[in-house]
Structure formats: C-alpha cells, structure tokens
Amino acid sequence: MDEPEQENNSQENDFSEIFSLFSDITNSSEDSKDTSLLNSLKPYLNEKRQKKIDQCEKIMMMINAFKLFNALNETEDNES
C-alpha cells in the first residue's frame, strides 16, 4: 500500500473511532437515567433552575466524553 492510501485508511479509522465515541457518549444508559430524572423535575422548577438543569446535562455529557477519551488514550498507550 502506498503512502496516500495508508493515510486515507488511518483517517477513516480515526473517524470511525470518533463516531463510536460520540455514540457511546450520547447513548450512555447511566447518563440517560440521570438526565431523565433531571428532566422529570423541570416542570416543577422555575425558568432559572430549568436552565441550570440544561447546564448540568451538558456538563454530565462532557464528563462522560472526558472519561471515554481518557479510556481511549489509555488503550492507545498500552498498544504502543
């Protein structure tokens, strides 16, 4: 395989891993239970607190993303 083909395959593998991580982030069952609980409380809260719940959901998703990226980085470190 020549150099451009290897680079294209590498990029495709990177995109597949990123897409897989994104799917894991958005489909995490633990987070969906937490967000379901928070969303069920929203109708009983004032607008200011509803916005805080939205912020909490985003923070939870970012934390989950960091965990997944860290796990991916650890597996890459172990492979090399």
Q: How does pLDDT run across 12-25, given as a tens digit for each residue?
A: 777 777 777 666 66
The structural domains of the chain, with segments of one domain joined by +, span: 3-79
Q: Which residues contact 39 (CB under 8 A, 6 or more apart)?
A: 53
pLDDT at 9: 65
Estimate the share of the chain in helix, then strand, then coil, as percent rounded to the nearest 5.
90, 0, 10
Q: How does pLDDT run across 27-78, given as a tens digit for each residue?
A: 665 667 888 899 999 999 999 999 999 999 889 888 888 888 887 787 767 7
Q: Which residues contact 46 (CB under 8 A, 6 or more apart)?
A: none
